[in-house]
Amino acid sequence: MQIIFIHIILTLFLIIFVKKIFMKIILSRKGFDSKFGGMASPIFPDGTLLSLPIPSNDDVKFSELKWAEKNYLDLIQELNPKSSLNSLSTCHLDPDLRRSTIPRPDGWTSAFGQTGSALSELRKHNISVGDIFLFFGWFKNTEFIKNNPDANVIKMGIGDVTKPLVPAVVDAFRNAVDEMADGETFMGYGPEQGYGFLAEAIIENDYKKYGVDLDASEVFISDGAKCDTGNIQEIFGLDNKIAVTDPVYTVYVDTNVMAGRTGEMGDDGMYEGLTYLKCNAGNDFVPELPSEPVDIIYLCYPNNPTGTTLTKDQLKVFVDYAKENKAIILFDAAYEAFIHEDNVPHSIYEIEGAREVAIEFKSFSKTAGFTGTRCAYTVVPKELMAYDGEGNAVEVNPLWNRRQTTKFNGVSYPVQKAAEATYSEEGKAQIKEVLDYYMENAKVIRESLTDMGLEVYGGISSPYIWVKTPNDMDSWDFFDILLNEANVIGTPGSGFGPSGEGYLRLTAFNTLENTKEAMDRISKLEF
């Protein structure tokens, strides 16, 4: 069991300090008390901490709240069969955690606080604005690994790489660090958009060979495609209608949720303000066009999580739609380096007209093992236009440039020099060996699972393998079987949206030895 408390010494220090300035500190335990089983809040296998709300006489039922397609009541009863809670049990949610808790006036700004009787109780003790309210609680780690420390668990869930940076990259990194140690060559603040030497290398190696011409001012260097795909929504109005594929890389959804574009989540796990483009075996994982007008379309190909791809003709359908409807495509091509199919584009700009409607995101994380080094880039063509509420065209490139220069100080010089080295002849050859290694893993996974009689997708032009659960098994049930009986970790498909239910994602980023061992273990299971 892992228990998390506020550090006692820190608390005492704070109390002593604030007493000198006549400020009050209130310590409040967060979670269940002994009356309701004294159970801890859970830490789930993916590292998520779920703070269980306190039982109360409020009108929100535990059974109405969900996590990963499972309601809180079922989770609580699984974690603690002795719990006295039932289907009628209600709980207290802080006002900012559930929009329906209290009415929201115009101009509402979220701030954790108290309302109702709790607020009255605080006022009774002369507690007001300026006092400090500290919560403490405890969490139980439900992760198999923690409960089975001797198990040889093979992790194939999170898409992190296992191969180190290649020698050409490391040498460039070291040389750049040496430059930073010399007053003559030291580099301070660099351009927020990135150094020209890296932008030019990107254009020359990632685009020109596919017949795409770019200007350096259209390339913005960043610290990750995840960051850029999450931040890009900031330059668009809250009234824009958003379309996402389903299943979907969750960053696209969650950042729009936080921005306030999506409305509430329904019982089906879908947000009322989003348009979902279904991707499943029934349509060969090719998303249909939006059934209603939308302003922004998120596409990720090769796809995370399904590992599937779109051909040039299939992608052209979306480009044509965007041009006709004045929509913008946000195209995440983070896994482009893994493409092995001739009819699959390496850039959306290979499609005629795409420069007018698309922003493209690429990354060095999976391509060159930069998951811990952090470097990526976003391309915003000068031709790309958005439209204001009156239908006036607005250039997007200056908008993103303003956001970049206002809220980002740029990627460090040594990291950009390391990224540049990926385009050297030596770097290209070394990185190809690594990519081939991961794709051999993908082949092993795909062929092994297919031989077991499972339905398998992806793994041809992607490091992700999307597996249909056997016998219509729930994705979390399949996860549990693999973990508990084979000591192999995957990622339940339900975590990627409603259409992900019934699937599980495996990655090819482990070692070849572990990959073969994992497949051997799974082959011995009975479903």
Residue 249's CB is within 10 A of a number of other CB atoms, namely 21
In whole angstroms, what is the distance from residue 66 CA to residue 86 CA? 15
Considering the domain architecture, whether residues 110 and 185 belong to the same structural domain is answered as no
**Unique residue bearing structure tokens 């009108």:** 59
What residues make up the domain containing 101? Answer: 8-142
Considering the domain architecture, whether residues 382 and 436 belong to the same structural domain is answered as no
Q: What is the pLDDT of residues 313-356, one digit of tens each?
A: 999 999 999 999 999 999 999 999 999 999 999 999 999 999 99
Considering the domain architecture, whether residues 39 and 181 belong to the same structural domain is answered as no
Structure confidence at residue 248 (pLDDT): 95
**Unique residue bearing structure tokens 């089983």:** 37
Peptide bond into 302 cis (omega under 30): yes
Q: What is the mean pLDDT of residues 298-308?
A: 97
Q: What is the mean pLDDT of residues 356-368?
A: 97
Confidence of residue 111 (pLDDT cuts 50, 70, 90): low
* Type of residue found at 338: F
Strands 358-363 and 154-155: unpaired
pTM: 0.75
Query: CB–CB of 214/379 below 8 Å?
Result: yes
Last residue of a domain, one of 375, 398, 423: 423
Fill in the DSSP letter of residue 370: T
* Total domains present in the chain: 3
Q: What is the pLDDT of residues 23-75, one digit of tens each?
A: 676 665 555 544 444 566 777 766 677 778 877 777 788 888 887 667 888 87
Considering the domain architecture, whether residues 406 and 438 belong to the same structural domain is answered as no
Structure confidence at residue 191 (pLDDT): 97
Mean pLDDT over all residues of the chain?
87
Q: What is the pLDDT of residues 499-527, one digit of tens each?
A: 999 999 999 999 999 999 999 999 999 88
Residue 256 has pLDDT above 60, yes or no: yes
In whole angstroms, what is the distance from residue 19 CA to residue 457 CA? 62
- On whether residue 148 sits in a domain, the answer given is no
Taking Cα atoms as reference points, which of 231, 259, 284, 264 lies closest to residue 457? 284
Residues 6+ apart with CB under 8 A from 178: none
Considering the domain architecture, whether residues 489 and 390 belong to the same structural domain is answered as no
Q: What is the pLDDT of residues 213-237, one digit of tens each?
A: 999 999 999 999 999 999 999 999 9
Q: Which two tokens stand for residue 274?
A: 């989003």
Adjacent-strand bridge partners of 69: none
Residue 14 has pLDDT above 70, yes or no: no
Considering the domain architecture, whether residues 245 and 383 belong to the same structural domain is answered as yes
